[in-house]
Amino acid sequence: AQTVTQSQPEMSVQEAETVTLSCTYDTSESDYYLFWYKQPPSRQMILVIRQEAYKQQNATENRFSVNFQKAAKSFSLKISDSQLGDAAMYFCAYRSTGANSKLTFGKGITLSVRP
Amino acid sequence: DVKVTQSSRYLVKRTGEKVFLECVQDMDHENMFWYRQDPGLGLRLIYFSYDVKMKEKGDIPEGYSVSREKKERFSLILESASTNQTSMYLCASSRRTSGRTAYEQYFGPGTRLTVT
C-alpha cells in the first residue's frame, strides 16, 4: 500500500518570503499522480497543484511550484512571495492511475504567515 | 464551478442515534468519496462510490455505511453513533480517470459531528 509522509506538523513564514513544504511517499508503481491541497481555516479544501509522475517537468501554478524528485520519492511544495491568505493546512496526496483509485493523504502541515 | 454541498455544517447527536450525512454534487461526477478528518491523522477514506449503487470500502469503514441511489447524491450513515465517531466529515467528488489526466477531487465544506 502507498503511504504519504509529511514530517513537519507546523511551519511559519514571513509575509513576502518563500517557504517549502516537504512530502515523501512510498510506492512500487512507476506511474501515478501527486497533489497538494490547501484547507484554509473553516473553508473548503481546494487543489493547489498537481503533478503527473510521467512528466519530468515540475508543475507550477503562479506562486506555487513543486520539486518532484521521482527517484527519491519526494514531492515538495514551494510557495513564493507568501501572502496572509496562504495561511492554511496543506495536504500532500498520492493517487494511482487506475480508473477508480483513491487518494492517499499525508497528515498535513499547518502553515502560518507572519505579517 | 463545481459545487459540492453537505447537508449540515454542524451536527450534535446522542450516542446510539442513527445519523445521516448527505452530500450533493452538481457536476455529473462519477466518483464520490467520504472522509473523516481528525487532528494529527489527516484525511482517512471511509467509503467511496464510482457509480450509482456501487460502493467500495475505504480504509476505515467500520461503523459506517453508505448509499448512492442517484448519481449526484452520496449519503454516509452512522447506524449507531458512538463518541469515537466525533469528527469532521468531508465529502468529495471527481470525474472518473480517463487517459493520463489526473482529475482532482472537489470537496464539500465539511460537517463537524459531535456525538455526546
Distances (CA, A) of B68 to B55, B59, B99: 8, 19, 26
CA–CA distance, A59 with A11 (Å, rounded to integer): 22
Sequential pLDDT tens for chain B (116 residues): 669 999 999 999 999 999 999 999 999 999 999 999 998 899 999 999 999 999 999 999 999 999 999 999 999 999 999 999 999 999 999 988 766 677 889 999 999 999 99
Distance from CA of B84 to the nearest CA of A (A): 19
What's the rounded Cα separation, in Å, for the pair B15 and B35? 21
The per-residue pLDDT for A66 is 97
For the residues A52-69, what does the mean pLDDT come to?
94
Asked if A35 and B104 come within 8 Å (Cβ–Cβ), the reply is: yes
pLDDT in tens, A71-98: 999 999 999 999 999 999 999 999 988 7
**Chain A within 8 Å of B88 (Cβ-Cβ)?**
no
Note the pLDDT of residue B2: 64
User: Among B42, B100, B102, whose Cβ lies nearest the Cβ of A108?
Assistant: B42
Please give the radius of gyration of chain A, using alpha carbons only, rounded to the nearest integer: 14
Answer whether B116's CB lies under 8 Å from B83's CB.
Answer: yes
Q: Do B41 and A107 touch (CB under 8 A)?
A: yes
pLDDT of residue A59 exceeding 90: yes
Of B56, B102, B105, the CB nearest to A52: B102
Q: How far is CA B42 from the centre of its chain?
A: 15
pLDDT(A14) > 80: yes
**What confidence category does residue A100 fall into, taking pLDDT thresholds of 50, 70 and 90?**
confident
**CA quadruple A98, A104, A110, B1: dihedral positive or negative?**
positive
- Could you tell me the pLDDT band of residue A43, with boundaries at 50, 70 and 90? confident
pLDDT tens digits for B14-27?
Answer: 999 999 999 999 99
The pLDDT, as a whole number, for residue A96 is: 87
Taking contacts as CB-CB distances below 8 angstroms, the residues of chain A near B105 are 47, 103
